[in-house]
Structure 1
Amino acid sequence: MSRAVVYETFGGPEVLELREVPEPHAGPGEVRVRVSAVGLNPMDWIFTSMPEMAERFGLGLPSGFGTDFAGVVDEVGEGVSGFAVGDRVHGGAVGRAAADFAVVDPSADTLAHTPAEIGDEVACTLSVAGLTASAALAAVDVRAGDTVLIGGAAGGVGVVAVQLARLAGARVIGTASEGTFDFLRRFGADPVAYGPGLEDRVRAMAPEGVSAAADLFGTETAEAALALGVPPGRISTIAAGPHPPGGVRPTGGADARPEDLKRVTDAIVTGEITVPIAASFPVERIRDAVRLQAGRHVHGKIVVTL
């Protein structure tokens, strides 16, 4: 037997249970990973509480929990190349990460080798955040000389997006609560408070104008960017549904290029990107970890260890 976080009904963190389950094994075309750490994302708790969202990602009841993981390969199925027993890896497998063992299909799920310089608690945070941040910036072609408005800049995706935009040579204005301003400045962003009046505050900070925007939280930043005259084609959203306001570009991690995750890990190795870990919980405290994540006021990433 092995352990896995599961839920049998939809609801809040209270529906999550750590249970003994039959030990899974890698079949043809699959790899089994002995998971050491899981990085939480807003999408994880959204799936537990919103059946329609879970269904869109192929999840039904009962379900496993979590997406991002890091660990060591301990079984390799027939027909798999590029991975061997003992390899340190990280990646994403929707609804299967928070378990002693995650069985993944490298051709369908995200699976990459973990550089020796990166620990598992950082590696387990990278799949969703790294790919989503890359896609959000690529969708609006962020480049040197841009002034980019990033909404939700202090979140797990936001801090990666801020740093990627800065590496591209752009100025970044990031929306956040005032309590996170110093935190954002550490990553090279000029912080601005979200909420009513955002458009006016940004205009005062950037009288020369904003050239691109990525809304990583909802629609407020996208709407402010439209009001500031940013063309819809240079505004992206990741959490506004398939039909965001004003014809701006919806995107997500699925739109990222395969090489984008390696670009993020390479930048971490060279010290150009830092991933802040806001809190770490043992898997026995999965409900506490998800409550903190669901509060949406975390500075950085939350990690669950096994």
Structure 2
Amino acid sequence: MTKAAVAASYGGPEAIEIVERELLEPAEGEVLVEVKAIGVNPYDYKSYSGAFGTDESKLPIALGSEASGIVVAVGGSAEGPVGPIAVGDEVIVSGLNGTYAEKIVAPARFVFPKPADLEWNVAAGVLAVAGTAYDALESVGVKSGDTVLVHGAAGGVGSVVAQLAKERGATVIGTARAQNHDALRAFGAEPVEYGDGLLGRVRAAAANGIDAAIDTVGTDEAVDVSLELLTDRSRLVSTAAFGRASSDGFLTVGGPESAKRRRLASPTLLEQAGSGVFEVTVAKTFPLDEVARAHAELQSAHPRGKFVLIP
């Protein structure tokens, strides 16, 4: 048995329960991982909020999609994306449903080696944000010499977008609250504050115009400003404004092509994270038992960076 967090009903964080879940021995091609840290993402609370429907047959909903930990058992031959997996390996599990637990059984295809220089807490939250950031950059073809507008550039995904865009040789203009502007400057981005007058501030910061825009917040302001500045709507991608994308004809991340792109890029992204090409900030940690509080705080104003659960 293992302690795990599930959503027993649809609604707010009060729907979450800590339960004892049966833990099967790993089958051929699976591994048993003792979890050290668990990444928390907005999708986790959206999954039981009703945003994706309220099908009662899907309850209880196992929560979480990423974690870091140590392999404690291997079922037969387990070949991960970058090679064989053995007992004692320090790993990252990404893309597997139900990682809010003390121990998890994971098919090897979801298991990646943890870079030695990444702490457990950082490793638990790196691939979801880095994969989304990479996917967004690839979607709009960001390259050296581009000027890129990043909405929500101080957030989990946005901060990695900014750093990876700079790594590609792009100029980055990022929207953020004033208190996060120093962090953006440290990433090499030019910060601008969102809110009334954003269009004028971006124009002033981008003397030669904007070549691409990546929206990680999903507000009408972010979309409207991007559409006003871009001549090619195929160079605007959003991780959140799905309704506007459908009506206004720009790109979003997600779907089979995005999943494939992220999966193939994961080993390289982990190497880059381990070598310091980009960093993921951990804002706060919570015990697994306090997952409901973590979800409540994540939905309100909170410090810059990822939330992480500790079993």
* TM-score using structure 1 length: 0.91
1:266–1:93 distance in 2 versus 1, CA, 3 Å: closer
Amino acid at match of 1:241: F
Following the alignment from structure 2 to structure 1, what is the Cα–Cα distance between the partners of residues 25 and 10?
A: 27
SS in 2 for 1:163: helix
SS in 1 for 2:214: strand
SS in 1 for 2:223: helix
Following the alignment from structure 1 to structure 2, what is the Cα–Cα distance between the partners of residues 207 and 300?
A: 30
1:195–1:25 distance in 2 versus 1, CA, 3 Å: farther
Q: Write the mapping of 1:39-50 to structure 2, written as runs, cut at 5 A.
A: 39-50=39-50
Following the alignment from structure 2 to structure 1, what is the Cα–Cα distance between the partners of residues 98 and 49?
A: 17
1:16–1:236 distance in 2 versus 1, CA, 3 Å: same
Q: Aligned residue for 1:279?
A: 284
Matching of residue 106 in structure 1 with residue 108 in structure 2: yes
Amino acid at match of 1:66: G
Whether contact under 8 Å (1:155, 1:298) holds in the other structure is no
Whether contact under 8 Å (2:237, 2:252) holds in the other structure is yes
Q: Aligned residue for 1:231?
A: 232
Q: Aligned residue for 1:258?
A: 263
Give the deviation of 1:264 after TM superposition: 2.3
Amino acid at match of 2:90: R
Amino acid at match of 2:63: F
Structure 1 runs of 4+ with >3 Å offset: none
Whether contact under 8 Å (2:237, 2:251) holds in the other structure is yes
Following the alignment from structure 1 to structure 2, what is the Cα–Cα distance between the partners of residues 50 and 118?
A: 35
1:68–1:230 distance in 2 versus 1, CA, 3 Å: farther
SS in 1 for 2:48: helix
Amino acid at match of 1:13: P
Whether contact under 8 Å (1:5, 1:98) holds in the other structure is yes
Q: Which moved more, 1:254-263 or 1:150-159?
A: 254-263
Q: Write the mapping of 1:87-166 to structure 2, written as runs, cut at 5 A.
A: 87-107=89-109, 110-166=110-166
SS in 2 for 1:138: helix
Q: Which moved more, 1:98-107 or 1:155-164?
A: 98-107
Give the deviation of 1:144 after TM superposition: 1.0
Give the deviation of 1:248 after TM superposition: 1.2
Amino acid at match of 2:174: G
Following the alignment from structure 2 to structure 1, what is the Cα–Cα distance between the partners of residues 46 and 287?
A: 21
Q: Aligned residue for 2:68?
A: 70
Give the deviation of 1:157 after TM superposition: 0.8
Matching of residue 221 in structure 1 with residue 222 in structure 2: yes
The number of aligned residues is: 301
Following the alignment from structure 1 to structure 2, what is the Cα–Cα distance between the partners of residues 68 and 223?
A: 33
SS in 2 for 1:6: strand
Whether contact under 8 Å (1:242, 1:250) holds in the other structure is no
Amino acid at match of 2:189: A
1:65–1:193 distance in 2 versus 1, CA, 3 Å: same
Give the deviation of 1:74 after TM superposition: 1.8
Whether contact under 8 Å (1:73, 1:89) holds in the other structure is yes
Give the deviation of 1:128 after TM superposition: 1.0
Whether contact under 8 Å (1:212, 1:230) holds in the other structure is no
**C-alpha distance after superposition, 1:128-179 (max 9, x if no partner):** 1011000000111111111100111111111111110010111111111222
Q: Which moved more, 1:197-206 or 1:218-227?
A: 218-227
Aligned to 2:294, which of 280, 289, 294?
289
Gap runs ≥5 in structure 2? none
**C-alpha distance after superposition, 1:101-125 (max 9, x if no partner):** 1222234xx3211111112111101
Following the alignment from structure 1 to structure 2, what is the Cα–Cα distance between the partners of residues 148 and 53?
A: 35
Q: Write the mapping of 1:235-250 to structure 2, written as runs, cut at 5 A.
A: 235-241=236-242, 244=245, 245-250=247-252
Following the alignment from structure 1 to structure 2, what is the Cα–Cα distance between the partners of residues 242 and 138?
A: 21
Whether contact under 8 Å (1:213, 1:221) holds in the other structure is no
Following the alignment from structure 1 to structure 2, what is the Cα–Cα distance between the partners of residues 147 and 292?
A: 34
Identity %: 37
Q: Which moved more, 1:116-125 or 1:76-85?
A: 76-85
Give the deviation of 1:296 after TM superposition: 5.2
Whether contact under 8 Å (2:23, 2:104) holds in the other structure is no
Q: Aligned residue for 2:5?
A: 5
Whether contact under 8 Å (1:6, 1:62) holds in the other structure is yes
Following the alignment from structure 1 to structure 2, what is the Cα–Cα distance between the partners of residues 54 and 149?
A: 36
SS in 2 for 1:49: coil
